[in-house]
Amino acid sequence: MAGSLNPDRSEWDVIVIGGGPAGETAAQYATRFSGLDAVIVESELVGGECPFWACVPSKALLAPVHLLATGRDLGGTRPLLADRHLDVDGVLNRRDAIVDHFDDGRQVERALGWGLDVVRGRGRVTGEKTVTVDGRTLRARQAVVVAAGSRPHTPEVPGLREARPWYSRDVTAVHEVPRRLLVLGGGVVACEAATWLRALGAVQITMVERSTRLLTDQEPFAGTAVADSLRASGVDVRFGQTVTRVERPTINDSGVGRIHGGPVTVTLDSGATLRVDEVLVAAGRRPNNEVLGPGEGRPVDEHMTVEGMPWLYAVGDVSGESYLTHIGKYQGRIAGEVIAARAAGRSLDEAPFNRHTDLVRRGAAAQVIFTDPTIGTSGLTEAGARRQGYDVETVEMDLSQLDGGRVLRDHYRGRTKLVIDRRTDVLLGATFVGTEIAELIHSATVAICAATPISALWHAIGSFPTLSDMWSHLLESVDAQRMAASRPSP
Ligand SMILES: Cc1cc2nc3c(=O)[nH]c(=O)nc-3n(C[C@H](O)[C@H](O)[C@H](O)COP(=O)(O)OP(=O)(O)OC[C@H]3O[C@@H](n4cnc5c(N)ncnc54)[C@H](O)[C@@H]3O)c2cc1C
Ligand SMILES: NC(=O)c1ccc[n+]([C@@H]2O[C@H](COP(=O)([O-])OP(=O)(O)OC[C@H]3O[C@@H](n4cnc5c(N)ncnc54)[C@H](O)[C@@H]3O)[C@@H](O)[C@H]2O)c1
């Protein structure tokens, strides 16, 4: 039976606070074969950050940028595109269509179609199985799931908040492209946003990252490739620096994606000052875990349950485990399956690939960063694996001479690395850098998740001439390394 929007009732089996990818999925999985009913409490748009303000608009903005970059690097299309620019209105209109002009009708219909109720309002856990939504009390018979997402972090810099800077929502919903932009941070949001804003007409972008490289969670060569590419496109990337003061005398209430006032003067710790039209704060995110009420600050176990509160679950960004849609949905599936099992009085499954345990937190998360070149990562980096105590073997390959890459671009730039556990001879991690590697990273995720031995991967042959052909070359290099290591020294 279809669910209802804002029904006049106050008790369900399951209450989910937050209708983003993680919350929607948890509600769907808790109810789909269990006979339980559930409500999603949502204060903004059902669907959450991802389809309206994050993943989907950012990738919609980047798709034409990548196509243009590839076309400019191919004999035959280069003369057509060399001095041509993007049709900015066309790109922004396409983005607006892809985000359904901020109408969550499709997502609400989908939730109601799954039999879920939807209540619009701001919820918070206020007691055991109790949620307060704008003064109204709702009770859950079985479980409460908090899927309230995260918010951008603002570093404590004098004048920064007062200057009303841009955050990620302003760049994904961009309407006015600033001519001169300072980007605070050099992580994923900063690198992707600088890529599309530069292509859409920002003439001066200065990126200030306090550490010594971009994308610090990834293999160092990934950040180097993106820094080289951003610099080649004219972005001024500065490492080991931060912002110490921000001054903006005139503020406008212009709205999301529009320039928020007059010129901004930014002082760096190097002593340099910059005058820009806008500042983008892309310095990480923090979970909205105040929504957990009495559960705030408690760890979330591998069944997505808040420690010591077996009726309370946290999934997605709010869990603090990762800030990725696909991982949030995976956690939602786990929480939903756990809730259904516990409600039916079944004990949790302990088989190796059971559906009640978050196995990805042990190291198999994948991510694609849609820069040029694109970064695809799965599992652990070498440094991450060593931190976890693994004895690792690594192999790396430059992709510029791979036929699968040479046919895609005249100057294909790419690099790949595998991290292998010496003790078990299985893959722990992979990083692929290059044009069109986004779809390919899943091959590594499957190998890592299934703990496929390297000896078996040797028989998984990629087609020629595609980028998948790199697998055979990488495994040949593993063979060569091992032969060299086993040969007695002269
Ligand atoms: C610019 C940008 C680009 C990104 N690109 C990618 C990408 O390409 N791939 C990827 O995997 N991830 C990407 N991410 C991360 C991704 O958007 C998040 O990991 C994902 O949206 C998290 O899902 P969630 O359900 O946990 O939270 P959200 O999507 O944030 O949803 C939480 C929901 O809870 C609601 N809510 C919050 N508090 C309350 C309350 N008190 N009461 C009721 N409702 C409440 C919010 O309104 C929201 O709708 C990106 C993030 C950003 C900022
Ligand atoms: N394609 C994707 O998967 C995608 C895209 C966008 C965002 N996301 C997710 O969103 C999350 C947030 O992204 P983000 O880029 O905001 O955070 P991030 O954690 O990736 O990067 C933040 C960067 O800001 C730097 N920084 C912090 N404070 C600073 C300061 N005071 N001065 C200078 N530099 C400073 C940090 O050193 C770090 O490099 C990420 O964890 C990511 O998983 C994913």
Judged against a pLDDT cut of 80, whether residue 489 lies above it is answered with no
Give the span between the Cα atoms of 440 and 91, in whole angstroms.
Answer: 26
Range 47-55 average pLDDT:
98
ipTM, interface predicted TM-score of the complex: 0.99
pLDDT at 1: 85
Token representation of residue 346: 């079944």
pLDDT for the residue numbered 19: 98
The identity of residue 153, as a single letter, is: H
**What's the pLDDT band for 9 if we cut at 50, 70, 90?**
very high
pLDDT at 37: 98
Residue whose CA lies nearest to ligand 1 atom number 33: 18
Supply the mean pLDDT for the chain. Answer: 97
pLDDT digits (tens, 9 = 90+) for 10-35: 999 999 999 999 999 999 999 999 99
Judge whether 393 and 386 are in contact, CB under 8 Å.
no
CA atoms within 13 A on the CB side of 298: 19
Mean pLDDT, range 329-340, rounded to an integer: 98
Tell me the three state secondary structure of residue 40: strand
pLDDT tens digits for range 375-428? 999 999 999 999 999 999 999 999 999 999 999 999 999 999 999 999 999 999
Nearest to 277 by CA among 262, 292, 297, 295: 262
User: CB of 434 closer than 6 A to ligand 2?
Assistant: no
Cα–Cα dist 417/412, whole Å: 17
Query: What are the boundaries of each domain within the chain?
Result: 11-47+104-151+286-360, 161-284, 373-484
Instruction: Provide, rounded to the nearest whole percent, the portion of the chain with pLDDT above 70.
Output: 100
CATH superfamily assigned to domain 161-284: FAD/NAD(P)-binding domain (3.50.50.60)
Q: Is the pLDDT reported for residue 176 higher than 80?
A: yes
Q: How far apart are CA 157 and CA 246, in angstroms?
A: 7
Ligand 1 atom closest to the CA of 291, numbered from 1: 41
CATH number of 11-47+104-151+286-360: 3.50.50.60
Mean pLDDT of 302-324: 97
- Tally the residues of the chain: 490
pLDDT in the model for residue 479? 95
Q: Do domains 11-47+104-151+286-360 and 161-284 have the same CATH topology?
A: yes
pLDDT at 190: 98
Residue located nearest, by CA, to atom 45 of ligand 1: 18
Give the tens place of pLDDT for each residue, 294-312: 999 999 999 999 999 999 9
Nearest CA to 319 out of 445, 182, 87, 149 is that of: 149
Closest protein CA for atom 27 of ligand 2: 283
Q: Which fold has domain 373-484?
A: Enolase-like; domain 1 (3.30.390)
Whether ligand 2 lies within 6 angstroms of the CB of 229 is answered as no
Q: What is residue 71's three-state secondary structure?
A: helix
- Determine the atom of ligand 2 nearest the C-alpha atom of 369: 1
Q: What is the pLDDT of residue 306?
A: 98
- Residue 22 Cβ < 6 Å to ligand 1: yes
Top mutation candidate among 150, 196, 206, 210 for ligand 2, by most atoms within 8 Å of CB: 210
211 lines ligand 2 (CB under 6 A): yes
Q: Whose CA is nearest to atom 12 of ligand 2?
A: 284
